[in-house]
A and B are shown apart, each in its own frame.
Chain A
Amino acid sequence: MRRAIERGIEMIFAASGMVTTVVILLIVAFLFKEGFGLFKSPAVEKGYALCVNADNPVEFISAADIKKIFNEEIEGWVPYRFDGDELSEKYEEEQFAGRLGEIIAETPKILAFIPEEYLPRNVKGVKILSGNTVIPKDFFLGKEWIPTATPAPQFGVLPLILGTLLVSLVAIFIATPLGIGVAIYLSELAQGRVRDILKPAIELLAGIPSVVYGFFGLVVLVPIVQRTFNLSVGETAFTGSIILAIMALPTIITVAEDAMRSTPRAMREASLALGATHWQTIYKVVIPYSISGISAAIVLGIGRAIGETMVVLMVTGNAAKMPSLFDAVRTIPATIAAELGEAPFGGVHYQALFVLGCVLFVITLFISITAELISKRQHNKGL
């Protein structure tokens, strides 16, 4: 009877482990499934198509080039945008397709942007560019993110990726030395009473909602940054980094301090008994001993910074352009949060946001694996 109950309990634990793993895998699978339809979707606005003259050898024009052609930034092309009002002055609606076919056949260098319903199908001299999908190269290396542009929305995520990395890395460069410093102070130097007050206070900071940090950043930090660096606006990547650093600090401090405190007393005593000073003991024994915990702390901090949405949405200015430290930037999470609501379900924009989610996932995965390898290598070497 007892055994049966114990078996039952074991099975419950095993089942919950399985369920959790499966759920996480399903979420990842969902993310990738929704996202990767993007590279099969047409690069032009939904419901429209592109046509060229049949003599034109081109089979594929990238979204960036389409935009340039319509902005007349590339010579040798004649952009043509369907205009229903103009056509209806002379033609009935049934004649639209035929008239459009004539225009295209007459103009060798034309690039016509036409609604699918008026598409001149099977007309001699007209070639419909049907294989014009969003391609990964444009997506990952494109420098423009204008998901609502016509005729071709621009899905260049490079500025978003770089923006995310810039904001988080600067944040982590600020937070790591500070966080490790405080952790060393708390675990090695602070008197018992000071630690008893400070540690819970710092842990409390981790519980403050990010919107509140965003408020603080917007009201206090933005003006300070603006004045200090003499900028026209204070909503910059740097402002975001500072706030993210503050937000990552409690995580880094708590995890790193726990790791350092778990250094056995025997290790400290061994070091001190050999005439090492307190400080030598800290950096030659305590820090190496707890290095995997410390790197875990930093990774968790980076994770917090990279995935953080609300704060960066509030203080970084949200301009999707190639990032620089003292300019407005936009991060991947902020983009997803701001745009998913207005992206039509299942559309190209929607899919693009899912691919962004995948990119974010891959970045964090990469960071965790790196950290894992670092701490593993340290252990194998025996420090």
Chain B
Amino acid sequence: MNIIEAQDINFYYGDFHALKNVSLNVAKNSVTAFIGPSGCGKSTFLRLLNRMNDLIPDTKLTGKCLINQEDIYAKKADVDALRKKVGMVFQKPNPFPKSIFENVAYGLRVNGIKGKDFIQNRVEESLKGAALWEEVKDKLGRSAYDLSGGQQQRLCIARALAIKPDILLMDEPASALDPISTSKIEDLIYTLKTEYTIVIVTHNMQQAARVSDTTGFFMLGELIEFSDTKKMFLNPDKEQTQNYITGRFG
């Protein structure tokens, strides 16, 4: 079953045509990776799935994007509700200047959840889900800024998990991290797959090959190829894809 169905999406920043006729489907509980050179539109595509691009003034979108069979750009679509279902982890770790606990509890609090025990349990559960619990369980009251970069990124993942989204978007989540932290994040993606649908944008082709089931290759706003990851890396259909993954340009 497809949890995301994008149909003929065009996206403009002012006059700049950033996405050209992009159509793709994402299956539930899969990991989909988007690769491509800088400025190819892969992040733009990711960010339109939770309507983060709405924050940028002077943008325009045509086409249809269905999540759970609902058109997220319909006039009466509830953006806040959409973002509860579609969590996001950003390129740079961006914890709030609050305690570790409050960072994870934030999503619950803004959604009106008050029960103290419930919040406590969910925070613990989320931190365990993000493989951070063992490292922080004794210092939940400490500032999130006391953590290392890799820990902060896992905290951001825990924060996104706390509201139990259906989909987790990750925008180059490991690009600011060292190799050890990166491998931790990748392991995490692997385990999260059982419960969440993950869409990840990455510059690192090995990473895409390691973590994803399906890969999409973007170039100059077009989705050049979208297929099974193994096939894409071993035997791509298009020459452009072949050139990019073998490093002949990019």
Q: Which residues of A contact B (CB under 8 A)?
A: 192, 264-277, 280, 284-285, 288-289, 381-383
Contacts and interface: CB of A to CB of B under 8 A. Distances in A.
B36 to A, nearest CB: 22
18 contacts: A192-B57, A266-B92, A271-B110, A274-B87, A274-B159, A274-B163, A275-B81, A275-B163, A276-B80, A276-B106, A280-B110, A284-B106, A285-B96, A288-B97, A289-B96, A382-B99, A382-B144, A383-B97
A273 B160 contact: yes
A274 B90 CA distance: 12
Interface string B71-92: 0000000001101100110101
Q: Is the interface of A mostly helix, strand, loop or mixed?
A: helix
A284 B90 CA distance: 19
A175 to B, nearest CB: 27
Interface string B98-126: 11000000110111000000000000000
A266 B94 contact: yes
A277 B110 contact: yes
B55 A270 contact: no
B240 to A, nearest CB: 31
A294 to B, nearest CB: 14
A265 B94 CA distance: 10
Interface of B: 50, 52, 55, 57, 80-81, 83-84, 87-88, 90, 92, 94-99, 106-107, 109-111, 142-145, 156, 159-160, 163
A383 B97 CA distance: 6
B83 A273 contact: yes
A275 B87 CA distance: 8
A269 B83 contact: no
Contacts of A285: 96
B145 A274 contact: no
A382 B106 contact: no
Contacts of A270: 90, 94-96, 156, 159
Given A264-B94, A277-B80, A288-B97, A272 B111 contact: no
A270 B55 CA distance: 12
Contacts, number: 76
Q: Among the interface residues A192, A264, A268, A274, which one has the most CB atoms of the partner chain B within 10 A?
A: A274
B94 A272 contact: no
A200 B156 CA distance: 38
A250 B216 CA distance: 52
Contacts of B109: 284
A46 B110 CA distance: 70
A276 B55 CA distance: 14
Given A270-B95, A273-B52, 8 more contacts: A192-B57, A266-B92, A269-B90, A273-B90, A274-B84, A276-B110, A277-B110, A382-B144
B84 A275 contact: yes
A382 to B, nearest CB: 3
A271 B96 contact: yes
A270 to B, nearest CB: 5
A274 B83 contact: yes
Contact of A272 (B55, B81, B92, B98): B55
A263 B98 CA distance: 14
A347 B159 CA distance: 69
A269 B99 CA distance: 18
B97 A382 contact: yes
Nearest to A288: B97
Contact of A289 (B50, B80, B97, B111): B97
Given A382-B99, A382-B143, A382-B145, A274 B94 contact: no
Contacts of B55: 265, 268-269, 272
A382 B95 CA distance: 11
